[in-house]
Amino acid sequence: MIYFDNAATTWPKPPAVAEAMVHFLEDVGANPGRAAHRRAVESGRIVYDAREAVAELFNAPDPLRLIFGANVTEALNLALRGYLRPGDHVVTSSMEHNSVMRPLRALEHQGVELTVVGCSPEGFLDPADVEAAIRPHTVMIALNHASNVVGTLLPVAEVGRIAREHDLLLLVDAAQTGGAYPVDVQAQRTDLLAFTGHKSLHGPMGTGGLIIGERVDVGRLRPLKRGGTGSNSELEEQPGFLPDMCESGTPNAVGLAGLRAGVRWVLERGIETIRAHEVTMTQRLIDGLGAVDGVTVYGGLDAERQTATVSFNIAGMAASEAGLRLDEEHGIMCRVGLHCAPAAHKTIGTFPDGTIRFGLSAFNTLEEVEQAVEAVRQLAEEPR
Amino acid sequence: MSEDSYSVVLVYSTSYALRAEKVLADAGIACKLIPVPRHLSSDCGVCVRVRRADREPTRGALEAAGVEIEGVYDI
């Protein structure tokens, strides 16, 4: 069996992740930040350590400006719906996932102006096109760091420099890069970084968050939900300080225990080591698939310019059929279709049919890549 | 000053208290997170208890680390 659906959720996880979650459930268990007995404090410590681990990985200076939530989608909704107001203008790219596009389209109905900057058919974005889209009332640029469809890396550091020059905020969706490619909120001048726990941070589903930089006016940010925080309990008004302001309700502490273990695994293994392994596998996959007659590989075809996610199609075979047969006949689990990113598929020319997507992770091997290429070759070479 | 006299540092949230605990551990100052004494605040959260002799080094270490302090009280 080969698991190539890591761009959706990574599997397997480092063993320490399940161990940390079992430890939490069996030996800790209490509500973090809601009482002062030993188990509540230990639970709070685990959540705080998760905060520090994620902040360290993304080079965020203040772990208390990190908001934990359910996933990257919730974080993106907080950043977009919490910050933008009618009359504001926001710039995004044509490679975005619906987690960015749908909140933005809804805000558009409420009077936020939106410019979607086109990307090349390979999925690359020219920073000059972003700069040209800036207007006097632009307040934010929202970009994914890498496409979930073809893995192409967007030039966030260059756009971050442009954002600073124009006094705008840069929101980066790091769903596809966090834990697999260097993400550095300072070097990449990122004001709002949305991440998810269940992909290359190797945590469980139900974990993610938003890092809020110093340039963000917290007074302007509206929380998505309000409620109990364990702080300022004498007041019926929501606290105005981070992280409590945006973290109402009991958090997914058992999930965050797992996330902490996953991020610690990434920090110990090292992003450079993980990245080097993924680049080697990705280039072999691109080259192997590209050499099969009838297979079209999308994106820049250069592993150095993308994550370990490769989209392709087989001539004469619907992606859905290929996905079913890869699973049933070859034991290869992947994702086919539009990958929740219709704009990206329009950009690369595969809308509405979609693609077959192989998403690799640090736990995959070159042998699996070779087997998968051979399986695709067999499907492609069938007489039709 | 008796061995049993303490001071408490009130902070704005549990996350701040947990950060304070780490900062003080790094500074070699013993501390314990306890419920906020009712006569100091009606908050339901935790505060940081230190030996009274460590009160000023505690204040210094937390301020140096940028941990915002709501108040420091002898108890």
Q: Is there a contact between B45 and A64 if contact means CB atoms under 8 Å apart?
A: no
Amino acid at A219: G
Measured between CB atoms, does A33 come within 8 Å of chain B?
yes
Q: Tokens 């502490």: give the residue.
A: A253
Residues of B within 8 A of A36 (CB-CB) are 33-36, 45-46
pLDDT-based confidence at residue A212 (cuts at 50, 70, 90): very high
| Helix/strand/coil for A315 | coil
- Distance between CA atoms of residues A310 and A352, nearest Å: 18
pLDDT of B67? 93
Contact between A189 and A161 under an 8 Å Cβ cutoff? The reply is yes
Q: What is the ipTM of this complex?
A: 0.87
Q: Is there a contact between B43 and A35 if contact means CB atoms under 8 Å apart?
A: no
- Distance between CA atoms of residues A15 and A26, nearest Å: 17
pLDDT of B3? 61
Please write the tens of the pLDDT for every residue from A341-356: 999 999 999 999 999 9
pLDDT of A233? 82
Contact between A238 and A245 under an 8 Å Cβ cutoff? The reply is yes
> From the list A34, A41, A64, which residue is nearest B33 (CB)?
A41
pLDDT of A3? 98
Please write the tens of the pLDDT for every residue from A50-97: 999 999 999 999 999 999 999 999 999 999 999 999 999 999 999 999
pLDDT of A166? 98
Taking CA atoms, what residue in A is nearest to B37?
Answer: A36
Please write the tens of the pLDDT for every residue from A264-288: 999 999 999 999 999 999 999 999 9
Cα-based distances in Å from A145 to A33, A125, A227, B43: 33, 11, 32, 41
Q: Read off the pTM.
A: 0.96
pLDDT exceeds 60 at position B1 = no
